[in-house]
Amino acid sequence: MNNSSVSLVCYSLLFFSICLSALATEFLFNGFRDAAKNLSMDGAALITSNGVLQITNDSMRQIGHAFFSSRMLMVKDESVSSPALSFSTTFVLDIITYNGSGGTGMAFVIAPFIPLSRVESGQFLGLLSTQNNGNVSNHLFAIEFDTVDNTRKYIDFPDNHVGVDINDIQSVVAVPAAYHTAELKNVTVNLLGGEPIQAWIDYNSAAKVLNVTIAPFMLPKPYQPLISLSIDLLPIFKEYMYVGFSAATGKFTSYHYVLGWSFSTNESAPNLTLSELPLPPRKKVNSPTSRIGTVKSVLVSSLITLVFVLFLFLVSKYLRNQRKQSENLEDWELEYPNRFPYKDLYRGTKGFNETEVLGSGGFGKVYKGTLWHAKKQVAIKKISNTSNQGVREFIAELSSLGQMRHRNIVQLLGWCKRNEDLLLVYDYMPNGSLDTFLFDDNRSTNLSWNQRFKILKDIAFGLVYLHEDWEQVVVHRDVKSSNVLLDAELNGRLGDFGLARLYEHGKNPHTTHIVGTVGYISPELSHTGKATTGSDVFAYGILLFEVACGRRPIEHTAPSTQVVLIDWVRECHTMNKLLTVIDPRLNENYDKEEMELVLKLGLFCSQSIPEARPTMRQVTNYLNGNDILSDDVVFVFSKENSLRLNSQLPYTSSSKDGMSSTSLSQGR
């Protein structure tokens, strides 16, 4: 063979090696209807007709395996002790039993070879056996969802637990199956409950930390994992590994199902589209026929009467509900997009039931709801309006605001008008508003300084989008801590656009009645009556003080005495005692430079002269460290306290929950 042929072969082998290493770094199955060609299954495993991956059925002493057929690159290079790659996977499992005692569980598995050999059913979950259990040569990693209840030596928990298995069926760590709510409450999850459960498994190779999290189907991923384990998986993983599932039955049986699955190395696994996942088939459970026959013979005559009465009751109830959900649309309402049918909002809030109330104020109430057609949780603000003046103009602006899209803005999804009620539909924020973290003494959790600083930057980015980046200038007019909402990951989002005003870039805003919340209204509004982006900057400055000091803009220390936050901060700054205003709940756990920046930036934003204030884009540059706020900057304040001036202004005030009302008849 000549040199050119040798070179061609070498380059071909190199190209094949590169292609092989690039295979199978990520996949996503929203159901498994067309996934048979991508899976390697053995034992009892199969794909049902509607696309559910079934690992076992209700036969005793049974094993089932289902693996992704392509190998995954888990270690960059075994020969030089490269770190194991990070990986992330999420899947929805469902364990269904019909005999009252399930068994024995299932596991997510990473193994060097398939099919798995020398394995046993029952307590070994189809992973290992008495011959090889505990051998380091297994190179086997598994997260078990164990439902067995016995006392054999390999069982590390009585039942209903989640464990991490390394080459051994006895877990290195095992905890009862549960999830943590946003309030850090531990809620038990019954693995044998027959309902789908979503699981997230994330390994960070740099930090060498493994996180395992579970939650009931359709709930968002909990902020706190169920298991967080410091572990180096490099000794466990080979260069290439297979990922999949294993399940087994013993004396008792269960159907073990997987409804959807995604996996990725070096980044987060793709999100499953939960609304597209198929559900497992359900087997009818037979009842004793002798007793049923006796009951039928006794009740048959009574049932006819009861059915007729029930029919009349249901018809009457249906007609009442139809009247409650009815609506008469005016012609102009059909001109504007993003309108929700009233009946959808009525049903989604269980008839605006008091159990669904998230908050209330002078404007009305906010309800937690579900849009059933989209399977999406929302917050519905119900505003009781006594005048139709300005409603059409207001809805026109709402329809325009509904087109905004930004990660730090709570999206206004739409609106609905029925009689005198106006309903605004927003994205639901599971962690509520920032002010409850700052001021609610009953809340068990406290925001760290890093979390507070991140939220302040989030809101600044959101205001830049409103003021400069969207197609029109949007002045929010009610920036405050109660309108800063937190999503499941505690990202800050600016919400409640009931008072927002829009005008074209380069144009001047119109004069309007003064609305907002006492303590946040900029002093120039009493003279000009024009809400500008500078008004929002002033309110953002007060928000900076709230977050840093942990105090409300105005606090009443006695019946006739009040502490005005902005005056207090200004006075401490003048006396060179600026850091004495810091929230004591931080316990001095904060970055001094960041804290000084936030406080001085608050003074910069809350200056009496609007032209002296920075723009929100300048604010983001300061917060990101792109620009330096000079120590020589001179803050301009009027002699007359701007916040005391606020107390003399006509305004649309907040109620006890801090959510501002909307005045359709006053300046919209």
Kindly write down the DSSP assignment for every residue of 294-343, as one continuous string: HHHHHHHHHHHHHHHHHHHHHHHHHHHHHHHH-----GGGGGSSSBPPHH
Q: 236 CB contacts (<8 Å, ≥6 apart)? A: 84, 139, 140, 141, 166, 167
Q: Give the CA distances from residue 27 to residues 211, 261, 265, 269, 652, in Å, rounded to whole numbers and listed in that order.
A: 20, 8, 10, 8, 52
**DSSP, res 468:** I
User: Is residue 517 predicted with pLDDT exceeding 60?
Assistant: yes
Catalytic, out of 478, 487, 496, 536: 478
The average confidence (pLDDT) of the chain is 83
Q: What is the mean pLDDT of residues 560-584?
A: 91
Strand partners for 353: none
Residue 100, exposed/middle/buried by CB under 10 A (0-12, 13-18, 19+)? exposed
CB 429 within 8 A of CB 659: no
- Residue % of the chain over a pLDDT of 70: 79
Structure tokens at 488: 């499941």
User: Is residue 641 predicted with pLDDT exceeding 90?
Assistant: no
> Strand 501-503 to strand 141-146: parallel, antiparallel, or no bridges (unpaired)?
unpaired
Gap between the Cα atoms of 624 and 578, Å rounded = 22
**DSSP, res 467:** I
Q: Minimal CA–CA distance to 532: which of 512, 553, 561, 546?
A: 512
Q: Is 567 considered catalytic here?
A: no
Gap between the Cα atoms of 233 and 586, Å rounded = 36
Tens of pLDDT, residue by residue over 254-286, are 999 999 999 999 889 999 999 999 999 887 655
Q: Minimal CA–CA distance to 203: which of 160, 245, 141, 154?
A: 141
Structure tokens at 560: 């006739």
pTM of the model: 0.50
Q: What is the mean pLDDT of residues 472-499?
A: 91
Within a 10 A sphere around the Cβ of 554, how many other Cβ atoms? 18
Gap between the Cα atoms of 130 and 368, Å rounded = 52
Tens of pLDDT, residue by residue over 371-421, are 877 788 999 988 766 444 457 667 766 777 788 899 999 988 888 888 777
How high is the pLDDT of residue 78? 64
**What single letter denotes the amino acid at residue 210?**
L
How high is the pLDDT of residue 238? 93
Gap between the Cα atoms of 58 and 63, Å rounded = 11
Structure tokens at 100: 């009252």
**What single letter denotes the amino acid at residue 649?**
L
Q: What is the mean pLDDT of residues 440-460?
A: 90
Q: What is the mean pLDDT of residues 195-212?
A: 96
- Least confident segment among 137-151, 325-339, 343-357: 325-339
Q: Which of 7-11, 328-332, 533-537 has the highest mean pLDDT?
A: 533-537
Full set of structural domains in the chain with CATH: 25-272 (2.60.120.200), 430-646 (1.10.510.10)
Gap between the Cα atoms of 271 and 93, Å rounded = 15
Gap between the Cα atoms of 233 and 84, Å rounded = 6
CB 553 within 8 A of CB 542: yes
Q: What is the mean pLDDT of residues 328-342?
A: 72
**What single letter denotes the amino acid at residue 101?**
S
Q: What is the DSSP string of 85-132?
A: PPEEEEEEEEEE-SSSS---EEEEEEESSSS--S--SGGGTTT--TTT
CB 297 within 8 A of CB 71: no
Q: Minimal CA–CA distance to 181: which of 547, 439, 444?
A: 444
How high is the pLDDT of residue 557? 73
How high is the pLDDT of residue 402? 80
Q: How does 230-265 read in b/e, with b if 16+ C-beta sit within 10 Å?
A: ebebbebbbbbbbbbbbbbbbebbbbbbbbbbbbbb
CB 455 within 8 A of CB 490: yes
How far is C-alpha 55 from the geometric centre of its chain's CA atoms? 30
pLDDT interval class at 318 (50, 70, 90): low
Gap between the Cα atoms of 270 and 264, Å rounded = 7
Q: Give the CA distances from residue 290 to residues 284, 286, 294, 297, in Å, rounded to whole numbers and listed in that order.
A: 18, 12, 7, 11
Q: What is the mean pLDDT of residues 358-375?
A: 80
Residue 382, marked binder: yes
